[in-house]
Structure 1
Amino acid sequence: MKKTLLGTTALVTAGLLAGPALASDPLKVTVGGNVVTGFYFVDADNVGGTSFQDTKVAVVARNIDIKAEGTLDNGLVAGVDAKLQLSNDWNSTNESWASFRQLFAYLEGGFGKFEIGGTDGAAYKMHYTSPWFVPGNGVDSPNIYNASSYSGSPEVRLSTFSLMATDSNKISYFTPRLAGFQLGLSYTPDAQNHGPSENGLVLAPKDYIMSNNNINQVFEIALNYAGTFGGVDVGVDGFYTGGNAMNNINADPEEYGFGANLGYAGFTLGGAYYESNDLDYANGVSSADKDYGAQVWTLGLKYATGPWTVGVAYLDSQDDSSNHAWRVGRESQTVQLGGGYNLGSGVDVGLDLQWAQNTRGDIGSPARRETYDTKSAGLVLAIAF
Structure 2
Amino acid sequence: MKKTLLGTTALVTAGLLAGPALASDPLKVTVGGNVVTGFYFVDADNVNGYSFQDTKVAVVARNIDVKAEGTLDNGLVAGVDAKLMLSNDWNSTNESWASFRQLFAYLEGGFGKFEIGGTDGAAYKMHYTSPWFVPGNGVDSPNIYNGVSDKYWNEPYATSPEVRLSTFSLMATDANKISYFTPRLAGFQLGVSYTPDASNNNPKANGLWLQPSLTGWDRNIQDVFEIAANYAGTFGGVDVGVDGFYTGGDSSRPDVSPEEYGFGANLGYAGFTLGGAWYQSNDLDYKRGVSSARADVGAQVWTIGLKYATGPWTVGAAYIDAQDDSASYRGRDGRESQTVQVGGGYNLGSGVDIGLDLQWASNQHNDTWNSTSYDTTSGGLVLAIAF
- Compute the TM-score of the two structures, normalised by the length of structure 2: 0.91
Using the TM superposition, give the Cα deviation of residue 22 of structure 1 relative to its aligned residue in structure 2, in angstroms.
Answer: 2.4
**Equivalent position of 1:167 in the other structure:** 174
Using the TM superposition, give the Cα deviation of residue 249 of structure 1 relative to its aligned residue in structure 2, in angstroms.
Answer: 5.5
Q: Number of residue pairs matched?
A: 370
Q: For residues 159 and 137 of structure 1, what CA distance do their matches in structure 2 show?
A: 13
**Equivalent position of 2:263 in the other structure:** 258
Structure 1 position 40 matched with structure 2 position 47: no
Using the TM superposition, give the Cα deviation of residue 14 of structure 1 relative to its aligned residue in structure 2, in angstroms.
Answer: 6.5
**Equivalent position of 2:237 in the other structure:** 231
Q: For residues 348 and 99 of structure 2, what CA distance do their matches in structure 1 show?
A: 30
User: In structure 2, which of residues 201, 204, 209 is the aligned counterpart of residue 202 of structure 1?
Assistant: 209
Pick closer, same or farther for the CA change 1:252–1:18 going to 2, 3 Å. closer
User: In structure 2, which of residues 189, 194, 208 is the aligned counterpart of residue 187 of structure 1?
Assistant: 194
| Percent of matched pairs sharing the same residue | 80
1:11-34 CA distance string (max 9 Å, x none): 677733365542421100000000
**Equivalent position of 1:27 in the other structure:** 27
Using the TM superposition, give the Cα deviation of residue 323 of structure 1 relative to its aligned residue in structure 2, in angstroms.
Answer: 3.7
Q: For residues 195 and 341 of structure 1, what CA distance do their matches in structure 2 show?
A: 38
**Equivalent position of 1:5 in the other structure:** none
User: In structure 1, which of residues 310, 316, 320 is the aligned counterpart of residue 321 of structure 2?
Assistant: 316
Q: For residues 342 and 112 of structure 2, what CA distance do their matches in structure 1 show?
A: 39
Structure 1 position 330 matched with structure 2 position 363: no
After TM superposition, the runs of 4+ consecutive aligned structure 1 residues lying more than 3 A away are 11-15, 17-21, 49-53, 91-94, 206-210
State whether residues 174 and 201 of structure 2, in contact with CA within 8 Å, keep that contact through their aligned partners in structure 1: no
Q: For residues 200 and 325 of structure 1, what CA distance do their matches in structure 2 show?
A: 37
Q: For residues 270 and 207 of structure 1, what CA distance do their matches in structure 2 show?
A: 41
Using the TM superposition, give the Cα deviation of residue 148 of structure 1 relative to its aligned residue in structure 2, in angstroms.
Answer: 1.1
**Equivalent position of 1:16 in the other structure:** 15
The amino acid that maps onto 2:24 is S
The amino acid that maps onto 1:372 is Y
Structure 1 residues without counterparts, runs of 5 or longer: 1-10
Q: For residues 171 and 138 of structure 2, what CA distance do their matches in structure 1 show?
A: 21
Q: For residues 172 and 276 of structure 1, what CA distance do their matches in structure 2 show?
A: 22
Match of 1:327, SS?
coil
Structure 2 residues without counterparts, runs of 5 or longer: 1-9, 151-157
State whether residues 213 and 220 of structure 2, in contact with CA within 8 Å, keep that contact through their aligned partners in structure 1: no
For 1:54-73, list aligned pairs within 5 A.
54-73=54-73
The amino acid that maps onto 1:348 is D
**Equivalent position of 1:148 in the other structure:** 148
**Equivalent position of 1:376 in the other structure:** 378
Q: For residues 21 and 235 of structure 2, what CA distance do their matches in structure 1 show?
A: 42
Q: For residues 55 and 87 of structure 2, what CA distance do their matches in structure 1 show?
A: 21
Using the TM superposition, give the Cα deviation of residue 280 of structure 1 relative to its aligned residue in structure 2, in angstroms.
Answer: 1.0
Q: For residues 73 and 191 of structure 1, what CA distance do their matches in structure 2 show?
A: 36
State whether residues 325 and 362 of structure 1, in contact with CA within 8 Å, keep that contact through their aligned partners in structure 2: no
Using the TM superposition, give the Cα deviation of residue 54 of structure 1 relative to its aligned residue in structure 2, in angstroms.
Answer: 1.1
**Equivalent position of 1:3 in the other structure:** none
Pick closer, same or farther for the CA change 1:92–1:217 going to 2, 3 Å. closer
